Homo-oligomer: A and B are copies of this chain.
Amino acid sequence: MAGYSLSKDDYLTRLKRIEGQVRGLQRMIDEDTYCIDVLTQISSITKALQNVGVGLVDEHLRHCVQDAASQSPEAGNKKIDEATAAIARLLRS
């Protein structure tokens, strides 16, 4: 269980929209849209993707980390190792 099942539909809706936006980007490039306008769209998609990422980090902390921490600090620490590494990757992307 991934932990974010409750808002699964929200994630899917948001990702469906992002998919549409990426398709829109292809149309923009295909039609030689002015590069600055394409860049604006890229910033907006990146932000939307990062927001999905923040949501997943939150889910991970709220479910996987909490569950593990309530069992033992060692189990909690393992999940936290993963969480921090994932956050560092997000920050670097």
Contacts and interface: CB of A to CB of B under 8 A. Distances in A.
For the residues of A in contact with B, the DSSP-based class is helix
Contacts of A16: 26
B87 A54 contact: yes
Nearest to A67: B69
Contacts of A64: 35
Given A33-B2, A66-B76, A66-B80, A54 B12 contact: no
A47 to B, nearest CB: 4
A18 B30 CA distance: 16
7 contacts: A2-B35, A42-B52, A50-B92, A54-B84, A54-B88, A69-B69, A87-B87
